[in-house]
Amino acid sequence: MKKVLIGLLFIVVAGLAISYKLLFSAAVKLDEKSKLIYIHTGWDFNQVEQMLVEKRILAHPLGFRLFSKYKKYDEAVFPGRYRVMNNMNNAELVNMLLNGRQEPVNISLHNIVLKGDLAGIIGSKMESDSAQAMSSLNNGPFLKQFGVNPTNVLALFIPGTYKMYWTDSPEMFITQMDSNYKKFWTKERRMEAAKAGLSPMQVSILASIIQAEQSRYIDEKPIIAGLYINRLKRGMPLQSDPTLVYARGDFFIARVREGDKELDSPYNTYKHSGLPPGPINMPEPSSIDAVLNYNPNDYLYMCAEADGSDRHHFSKTLEEQNKYAAKYRQYLDRKRIER
């Protein structure tokens, strides 16, 4: 009897030792400090386990399976983007996945011109692809709740870097951007917009044009804003070359020609007075604030300096403008820039 008890005790101790090793010893063996894994929506436990084995993450697959069954993770798989750390044990790994402790993704929004650019960024950072993102950006009834439409939706996005989860939908991202938009448009900013005779949307549209005109020298932005506001108040067409480039959809144009000014488009600010129907890019906060804090001047015209510096000469009269425009055309000719 004593030998039987000793044998049973040995079996129990051995079982406990094996269980401890399977569950609490290092189960994740990586060549690096950590590794990201992606569990897609709709996956079951077998697919998760297969992925972990194929990526050579699990040192003890049996322990992972046993602890998953014990914690019932095999019955409730949560999709997501997870960071697996080297030397994690099976208990830590299963608990992380079971609790859905995802690592957020950073979505950086800068230098965006078209909705397609934005959809591409969303599709590259989240589980949803770019086609799904574009569908959301074109969903008029959905966008209406945020006071925007498919034409002017870029104004809803304030450039910056935002944290989201990989499994968040494009609609969730847009909703988050609406929350950020409301925080950005403080009472003070809205008051400044009203003083300029503009709505927040109009400010964003004008800011996008200013940004396209001058993205290098921030000090010129308030001057350009004042010039365009002067034109808007007088009912003069803005006559902004970047709006023609946007209308053509050829963003490699370095020289606008007279024929471009006849283009039939609501974005042609040579043919149509007032602002275009939507922004021609996603304006940075500095461009928006340049409109809100515009320089009150008497300028009505601007022309790029004929030295390649990307700075501008500002004029009050058409006569002066024509003089500088001629110099700039000569500069382009010398550089053999035709388009």
Domain check: are 153 and 198 in the same one? no
Query: Quick one: pLDDT band at residue 213, thresholds 50, 70, 90?
Result: very high
Q: How many whole angstroms separate alpha carbon 112 and alpha carbon 29?
A: 40
Q: How many whole angstroms separate alpha carbon 296 and alpha carbon 223?
A: 8
Domain check: are 193 and 322 in the same one? yes
What is residue 59's predicted lDDT score, i.e. its pLDDT? Answer: 83
Number of folded domains that form the chain: 3
Q: Is 120 part of any domain?
A: yes
Q: Is 205 part of any domain?
A: yes
| In contact, 79 and 43? CB cutoff 8 Å | yes
Evaluate if residue 339 carries a pLDDT over 90: no
**What is the pairing mode between strands 80-85 and 34-39?**
antiparallel
Q: Which of 21-35, 184-198, 283-297 is the least confident region?
A: 21-35
Cβ contacts of 170 within 8 Å, gap of 6 or more: 122, 126, 128, 132, 133, 135, 136, 137
Q: Is 34 part of any domain?
A: yes
Evaluate if residue 332 carries a pLDDT over 70: yes
Domain check: are 157 and 263 in the same one? no
Q: Which structure tokens are listed for 109?
A: 């929004």
pLDDT above 90 as % of the chain: 72
Burial of 138 (0-12, 13-18, 19+ CB in 10 A): middle
The residue segments making up the domain with residue 170 are 105-184
Domain check: are 202 and 298 in the same one? yes
| Selection from 132, 107, 301, 272 nearest residue 205 by Cα | 272
Could you say which of 79, 98, 117 is where a domain stops?
98
In this structure, how many other beta carbons lie within 10 angstroms of the beta carbon of residue 151?
16
Domain check: are 227 and 271 in the same one? yes
* Chain segment 51-84, per-residue pLDDT in tens: 999 998 888 888 899 999 999 999 989 999 999 9
**pTM score, whole prediction:** 0.85
Could you say which of 152, 184, 216 is where a domain stops?
184
Domain check: are 197 and 131 in the same one? no
Q: Is 339 part of any domain?
A: no
* Chain segment 103-132, per-residue pLDDT in tens: 999 999 999 999 999 999 999 999 999 999
Axis crossing angle, helix 285-292 with helix 200-213, rounded to the nearest 10? 110
Domain check: are 168 and 212 in the same one? no
Q: Is the dihedral of CA 175, 181, 127, 87 positive or negative?
A: negative
Q: Is 87 part of any domain?
A: yes
Cβ contacts of 219 within 8 Å, gap of 6 or more: none
Could you say which of 98, 118, 140 is where a domain stops?
98
Amino acid type, 222: P
| Selection from 161, 153, 149, 151 nearest residue 111 by Cα | 161
What is residue 26's predicted lDDT score, i.e. its pLDDT? Answer: 64
Domain check: are 199 and 321 in the same one? yes
Q: Which of 7-11, 119-123, 189-193, 280-284 is the least confident region?
A: 7-11
Evaluate if residue 136 carries a pLDDT over 80: yes
Q: Is 222 part of any domain?
A: yes
- DSSP helix/strand/coil, 141: helix
Where do we find the tokens 């609609």? 171
Evaluate if residue 7 carries a pLDDT over 50: no
Q: How many whole angstroms separate alpha carbon 133 and alpha carbon 222?
A: 34
91-103 exposure pattern, b = at least 16 Cβ within 10 A, e = fewer: bbbbebbbeeebb
Domain check: are 168 and 202 in the same one? no
- Mean pLDDT score of the chain: 89
Domain check: are 208 and 261 in the same one? yes
Q: Which structure tokens are listed for 301?
A: 């015209």
Domain check: are 308 and 254 in the same one? yes
| Selection from 310, 312, 150 nearest residue 228 by Cα | 312
Amino acid type, 204: S
Domain check: are 219 and 294 in the same one? yes
| In contact, 282 and 276? CB cutoff 8 Å | no
